[in-house]
Amino acid sequence: MAGVQLWETLKESIVAYTGLSPTTFFAILALLFAVYYVLSGLFGYSSSDLHPQTRNFQEEELPPLRPPVQLGEITEEELKAYDGNDHDKPLLMAIKGQIYDVSQSRMFYGPGGPYALFAGKDASRALAKMSFDEKDLTGDISGLGPFELDALQDWEYKFMEKYVKVGTIKKEATEAESTGEPSGSTPRDVDVINPTEDGRSKPAAVKSEETPSNVEADKE
């Protein structure tokens, strides 16, 4: 009884709101569903077709991360090999001579990333100045102002908190240190003490080009 009453109420509502008879209304509704089904079959794609492709793409682009490997001391030239182009090697970057493994942020520091030019280098000066110039891609921070040094300190704190330190940059010896030559200059003028016959000593001047005036006076 309640179902019949509900059906009567539904028919009255269809006529009142659409102006169509219940039979015409349901016929149009069935036709719309049939058209939608045909169009979705011709041009539509199910979500199950799209998700596997997206998942496979992500798996190819982002290989599983390897645990950080401690390298110890390496030169700046050796650090260049860890710029992300070789997928068998970790992605490394240095700040103030300290090397960090940034492989987990490959999207930023890896090839094609916005900070890819920092990878495989000590980018201390570039980070302090927020510069992308090749001349600033160095660990030399001499001449930086207090604000730039503070900015570099903030970068270092972030790297220390987020990434694992895996080594340090080996400082190359200067030319003077490698040859063993003293850096200071040897004095040119040295007073030499010459002994005399009576056992006393007297200084002998090394400067041969200077002739004392009192010698000429004694000769006269």
Range 77-102 average pLDDT: 93
pLDDT number for residue 150: 95
pLDDT tens digits for range 171-181: 876 444 545 55
pLDDT tens digits for range 120-157: 999 999 999 999 999 999 999 999 999 999 999 999 99
pLDDT number for residue 20: 74
Between 54 and 29, name the one with better pLDDT: 29
Span of 9-13, 30-34, 210-214 with lowest mean pLDDT: 210-214
pLDDT number for residue 175: 46
Range 158-185 average pLDDT: 73
Between 55 and 34, name the one with better pLDDT: 34
**Rg of the chain taking only CA atoms, in angstroms:** 42
pLDDT number for residue 37: 75
**Rounded distance between C-alpha atoms, residue 81 and residue 91, angstroms:** 9
Range 160-178 average pLDDT: 78
Domain boundaries, the chain: 2-44, 72-169
User: Which CATH architecture is the domain 72-169 placed in?
Assistant: Roll (3.10)
DSSP state of 122: B
What lies within 8 Å, CB to CB, of 22 at 6+ separation is 10, 11, 14, 15
Between 19 and 174, name the one with better pLDDT: 19
Amino acid at 184: G
Between 13 and 147, name the one with better pLDDT: 147
**Tokens representing residue 58 in the block:** 């992500």
pLDDT number for residue 104: 92
Pairs from 125-130 (Cβ < 8 Å, separation ≥ 24) = 127/95, 127/151, 127/152, 127/155, 128/152, 128/155
Burial class (CB in 10 A: 0-12, 13-18, 19+), 128: buried
pLDDT tens digits for range 40-66: 766 554 444 444 444 443 444 556 778
What b/e readout covers 177-209, taking b as 16+ CB neighbours within 10 angstroms? eeeeeeeeeeeeeeeeeeeeeeeeeeeeeeeee
- Give the CB-side neighbour count of residue 171, counting CA atoms within 13 A: 8
pLDDT number for residue 32: 81
What lies within 8 Å, CB to CB, of 168 at 6+ separation is 72, 73, 97, 98, 99
What b/e readout covers 90-125, taking b as 16+ CB neighbours within 10 angstroms? bbbbbbbebbbbbbebbeebbeebebbbbbbbbbbb
